[in-house]
Copies of this chain bind each other. A is one copy, B any other.
Amino acid sequence: MTAEQTVVTYGGAVNAALTRSLDERTETILFGEDVALPGGVFGITKGLQSSFGDRVFDTPISETAILGAAVGAAMMGRRPIVEIMWMDFTLVAMDQLVNQAANVSYLSRGNVKAPMTVRMQQGSQPGACAQHSQCLEALLTHIPGLRVCVPATPQDAYDLLLAAVWCNDPTIVIENRNLYFGKKVTIMVGHDVQEIGGSITRHRGNDVTLVTWGSMVAPSLEAAEILEIEGVTVDVIDARWLNPFDTLAVCESVTRTGRLAVVHEATLTGAFSSQVVAGVVEAGVPLVAPPVRIGSPDTRIPAAPSLLGAVVPNVSTIVEALRRMVTRED
């Protein structure tokens, strides 16, 4: 395949990566609820069944069977790509990820692998109920044996998904439905598939290191722009991969800025941000202000837009928190 440009939405980028995976890796199969004939509830897998026939199929509403079948097929050498429609639904089937997929390589000392990719999307949307709104990445980043990424842009939706499919570990790709239908942008496709891992610094600055991922990348960048006008410059690191996590890049940046903020949509207690903070302070990186974590408070997620607005971080909550951080005297 030759590298070239294309203009796609985030959702379109996912579709392009799936198309390429099915095309180049003939051991891939793709299945999940409503993914084949209807092309997915969000239309992300449209056209794949007509292009790839039986290798793309619909399943019953049986997340345990879906993930378990992926484990079994992967053990036999297939490279399944499955979709769990909402990350909230993995909760009916966590066993297949944690007790099953994550153990395959370790138990067999690498003789058997589970090279499966599990796509899911998470996050809140106005009106979405509490069972369709959670950001649960922390439940998977705590599990040794699983890989986890959270693409935030169309380019990453393409690159990270391909890296996940090519990777021999069970890998979870956490998308976000708020991003699916964003504006079309030009991305590169057809280039070499990347290795898993690696963050990307999307905005450069010297006063604060802001680490973020997924749905909070865009508001964090907006916040950085606003702060820049005020003379506060922010390194905005889009972590992209939570496992493997790019501790090095984060520590390097914090060493320069002396300040660490972590921003995500998940509720705060026990969120992955606590790991990021702990990682930096354990490493002994000197800080000029206490680190700040910006996320949803510890609540269930309400449906009413007015309530939701009081819960999920946004540009102004980020700006305010960073302002407090840089003006604070210690």
Contacts and interface: CB of A to CB of B under 8 A. Distances in A.
A4 B93 CA distance: 45
Interface stretch (A26-34, A45-53, A288-296): A288-296
Interface stretch (A196-204, A229-237, A279-287): A279-287
A312 B222 CA distance: 44
Interface size class of A (residues with CB under 8 A): 35 or more
Given A107-B300, A142-B267, A282 B290 contact: yes
Nearest to A277: B278
A1 B109 CA distance: 56
Given A138-B270, A142-B270, A274-B274, A290 B298 contact: no
A139 interface: yes
A270 B103 CA distance: 18
Contact of A300 (B88, B106, B287, B291): B106
A145 B275 CA distance: 22
Interface of A: 64, 88-89, 91-95, 98-99, 102-103, 106-107, 130-131, 134, 136, 138-139, 141-142, 144-145, 243, 245, 266-267, 269-275, 277-279, 281-284, 287, 290-293, 298-300, 302, 330
13 contacts: A99-B131, A102-B300, A103-B300, A107-B130, A138-B142, A139-B142, A142-B270, A142-B271, A270-B274, A274-B275, A274-B278, A278-B293, A281-B290
